[in-house]
Amino acid sequence: MKISIEEISKELAEEILIRCHEVDDEINEILNKLKTENIIVLGYKNDKVHRISLRDIYYFEAVDGKVFTYCRDNVFEVKQKLYELEEICKGKNCFRASKSTILNLTKISSVYPSISGRFEAVLDNGERAVISRQYVPVLKNMLGL
Amino acid sequence: MPLSGFIQKAIKDFLIIFALIMIVITFLRQIYYPDMAFDLKSIYIIMGFSFLSTLTGFILYSPNNISDKNMRIRMVIHFITLEFILIAIASVFAIVDSVFDVIILALQIAVIYTLVRLLSWQIDKKEAQKMNEKLKAFKNDVI
């Protein structure tokens, strides 16, 4: 597929236009990727509000009734509940990995089994997150297994 | 994991334990007592042992997330409970009547326990390998 980029003046609004013969799986995949880029979550840290793109988020975790989002080096509190985030992130390469975590699939470096019978995901920043056995089929499904 | 899922897993574990004991005993009898027949009572006892050992699996069950360390502690408790129950029942049925017999039975339980854990881990390792291959392809595609 030919890719064209046109630089426009600051007065004009930026847009992405896809010219295709039909909206097939490939186009939908591109759309999903573009939409993923656009999801912004508000993170709170030290009385400051940060706009965090989903592509920078490694995982969400619920701890003692609060929900936190973990980026490469930073942790922010988010005001949404985990189930709300699960809904927001649906179809955006994120999945529920345990009762208390949602993982960003694009940030998983590898998966390995633990001798205690569970799976662990090693993230790109070296952090490890548990994947409960009951959610392993969800991950496998997302990976097309 | 919901309770229903755990019960399904327990049934699977029961069948694996039962099958492994039967396989091991079949081979051992073939080697040491080739002319001895398997009677129904023996099979029921093995089935009972497998069932009780599966029941102890509830020690490992928790509806909430637990840490890896907690899980390992539970595994140790599970193993000790298993040894205790099986040796106690074996004593009741007079299957073991000396310290030597108790040690042999304890070792057998330990070997089977380790085998089941290792088999399960091997299966998980294969599954993880498949996932990692797909993950690599997925990341190449996305990034």
Each residue of A40-85: pLDDT tens digit?
A: 889 999 889 999 988 889 999 999 889 999 998 899 999 999 999 9
Residue A115 main-chain phi, psi, to 5 deg: -65, -20
Distance CA B100, CA B113 (A): 20
pTM of structure: 0.68
Examine the pLDDT at A118 and tell me if it is beyond 80: yes
B142 touches chain A (CB under 8 A): yes
| Interface contact flag, B131 A117, Cβ < 8 Å | no
Mean pLDDT of B78-107: 89
| Interface touch A33/B142, C-beta < 8 Å | yes
A99–B64 CB contact, under 8 Å: yes
Dihedral pair phi/psi, residue B129, rounded to 5°: -65, -45
Which tens digit of pLDDT belongs to each residue from B2-19?
Answer: 778 788 888 998 999 899
pLDDT digits (tens, 9 = 90+) for B64-84: 777 778 888 998 999 999 899
Share of chain B above pLDDT 90, in %: 32
Interface predicted TM-score (ipTM) over 0.90: no
B37 by DSSP, 3-state: which?
Answer: coil
Please report the DSSP string for B57-117 in residue order. GGGG--SS---HHHHHHHHHHHHHHHHHHHHHHHHHTTS--SHHHHHHHHHHHHHHHHHHH
pLDDT of residue A35: 64
- Tell me which residue in B120, B124, B134 faces A144 most closely, judged by beta carbons: B134
Predicted confidence band of residue A116 (pLDDT cuts 50, 70, 90): confident
Q: How far is A84 from chain B (nearest CA, A)?
A: 20
Choose between A55 and A103: higher pLDDT.
Answer: A103
User: In this complex, do A113 and B64 lie within 8 Å of one another by their Cβ atoms?
Assistant: no
Residue B143 forms contact with A (CB below 8 Å): yes
For an interface test with A, the pick among B13, B65, B74 (most A C-beta atoms closer than 10 Å) comes out as: B65
Domains recognised in chain A with CATH numbers: 25-142 (2.40.50.1020)
Task: Report CA dihedral (B116, B121, B122, B123) to the nearest 10 degrees.
Answer: 90
The pLDDT value recorded for residue B11 is 92
pLDDT tier at B142, thresholds 50, 70, 90: low
Angstroms from A11 CA to nearest CA on chain B = 31
